[in-house]
Amino acid sequence: MGIEPDEPLTPAGRLFVQPATELIINCALGIDRSVGIDVVRSVISNSLLVKHPRFTSLLVIDKHGRERWKRVDLEVDQHIVFIPDVIGDEGDDDEVVVNDYLANLSVSCPLSTDKPLWEIHVLSAHKCVVIRFHHALGDGISLLSLLLTLCRKVSNNDEMPTLDPPSVSLTNAGESLGIRLWKLLKMAWFTLVYMLAFCMRSLWLRDKKTVVSGGAGVELWPRKLATARFSLDDMKTVKGAVANAVRFNFHYLVVAIVPDSAAHRPHHRLNQGLRQPLVVSVSSGSCRADRWCCGSGGAPKEGLQITGAAMVNLRKSSGIQEITELMKKNSKSRWGNKFGMILLPIYYHASGSDPLHYIKRSKTMIDNKKLSLEALLSYKVGYFVMKCFGAKLASLLNYRIICNTSFTISNLVGPKEEFMIAGIPVTYIRATATSLAHAITMHMVSYAGKADMQILVAKEIIPHPEILAKFFEGALLDMKEAAKLSQNSA
């Protein structure tokens, strides 16, 4: 077998190795019992990880200053960090310890470029395995798909777990020509409006300063991490009370729970999660949204907006099929990063009392976003800037978008069925990433009837994220109860 030539990084890969936008994905897998290093070594040595071209390559810089992947012989032991003993403070439960460990990794532990850009940390005493991937290796869907090739279903140990296909299109094949034409016009209009707002965000427009604002340099601040847990059955109950909700979108939930938490929880308790008091409010008008703002009172008042940056998967397949195709010779399957970004303003009405009001309002906005080409064009524009003007400018524009918004949200739809690794059942999947210039980032992954949201915060700004997690969980329960009442009265 001849020596394989070095492969250049994709444009998105080059973006994620720039200092301002470098990202590492930290995925935590809870396991049913402790595991030894020999088992971990055996699983990795017999997996696709040791055959995958990205996971067996060094990141190198050629003589022209271009980043490339250089294939090397993989030494598995270099990628395993085994921690057999208990870590953390005495009395802390496993979740607190693991979250503290992940929070520390998010700001203080880069991946070494002396080896391929991934690691596996085994927290044996806490029944957790943390898998770290550099974002230049691929996006969340690709990496989760590769991870699932190591696993087998609990119900059938000969089958790999599968992922749901992407969300269904809003376009119906049976629609009349008039309705299709109307949707096309709406798509053009929303695309124009949203892309104009996107470009303004990347240049100068920013959220007003609030108690949850981040900004340049905040990505270097110490972090805390808390977990909010949601039931997919509860989400389905809420979905049943929302007209035309064909499939529940996690973005519906996130955009709804933030204002609902502020409106329907005691403000003195919510303020305990923040360094300064919180007042959430919204203004009327079609081009204004909510803001989280400082105030001396505890009651909501009319205000402005906070804006989130949400990541949207652009792949047509679930990902596992792409893994299989990629390993074939002369494969045309595309590995790497393929996702776009949309901007999500958070809306709140001080006069609103029905929790379902927020989910219905968020669904309308998200459906308009999905109808537009904002996610696709944000990906294409970034690709164009990278190709024509270089990685530094592309990184600067992405960094400015983060600095000019207030939070990040992403979600992955994981397997519906429980699965196991090396015969050990997996109890949860949680993901987060290295810190951004936001004071709060939220990453949600669903698995086996549950969805866990990791809330990573700058602890100098939000010292008690566990309080926010409880309020977010309570917001969904409020919506579920309201949905049941609505269905019973119908």
Any bridge partners for residue 27, and if so which? Answer: 131, 431
Which pLDDT does position 81 carry in this prediction?
93
Assess whether 137 and 181 both reside in one domain. Answer: no
What percent of the chain has pLDDT above 90? 35
Please list the alpha-helical segments (H only) found in 35-152.
37-45, 94-108, 140-148
pLDDT band of 179, cuts 50, 70, 90: confident
Q: Cα-flanking dihedrals φ and ψ of residue 489, to 5°? A: -85, -10
CATH of the domain at 136: 3.30.559.10
Report the domain count for the chain.
2
pTM for this entry: 0.87
- Does some domain include residue 391? yes
Assess whether 149 and 181 both reside in one domain. Answer: no
Over range 365-371, report the average pLDDT: 87
pLDDT band of 373, cuts 50, 70, 90: very high
pLDDT band of 87, cuts 50, 70, 90: confident
- Burial annotation 338-374 (CB, 10 A radius, 16+ → b, else e): bbbbbbbbbbbbbebeebbbbbebbbebbbbbbbbbb
Task: State the chain's mean pLDDT as an integer.
Answer: 80
- Does some domain include residue 222? yes
| Three-state SS at 330 | coil
Which pLDDT does position 267 carry in this prediction?
47
Assess whether 140 and 201 both reside in one domain. Answer: no
Assess whether 445 and 353 both reside in one domain. Answer: yes
Assess whether 231 and 304 both reside in one domain. Answer: yes
Helix (H) or strand (E) holding 393: helix 391-404
Instruction: Look up the domain containing 103 and give its range.
Output: 7-153
Assess whether 132 and 248 both reside in one domain. Answer: no
- Does some domain include residue 160? no
Among the listed residues 375, 372, 349, the one whose alpha carbon sits nearest the alpha carbon of residue 256: 349
pLDDT band of 130, cuts 50, 70, 90: very high
- Does some domain include residue 378? yes
Assess whether 43 and 113 both reside in one domain. Answer: yes
User: Tell me: the pLDDT tens digits for 261-308?
Assistant: 554 554 445 555 555 544 333 332 232 223 333 333 344 455 557 888
- Does some domain include residue 167? no
- Does some domain include residue 328? yes
Burial class from Cβ neighbours inside 10 Å (0-12, 13-18, 19+) for residue 114 reads exposed
CATH of the domain at 476: 3.30.559
Is 194's pLDDT higher than 50? Answer: yes
- Does some domain include residue 171? no
Assess whether 369 and 404 both reside in one domain. Answer: yes
Assess whether 273 and 340 both reside in one domain. Answer: yes
Is 50's pLDDT higher than 50? Answer: yes
Assess whether 290 and 210 both reside in one domain. Answer: yes
Which pLDDT does position 191 carry in this prediction?
94
User: Of 153, 187, 202, which residue sits at a domain end?
Assistant: 153
Assess whether 101 and 199 both reside in one domain. Answer: no
Query: Which position has the higher pLDDT, 45 or 489?
Result: 45
Assess whether 146 and 183 both reside in one domain. Answer: no
- Does some domain include residue 74? yes
User: Of 99, 121, 153, which residue sits at a domain end?
Assistant: 153
User: Of 138, 153, 168, which residue sits at a domain end?
Assistant: 153
Angle between the 374-389 and 177-203 helix axes, to the nearest 10 degrees? Answer: 50
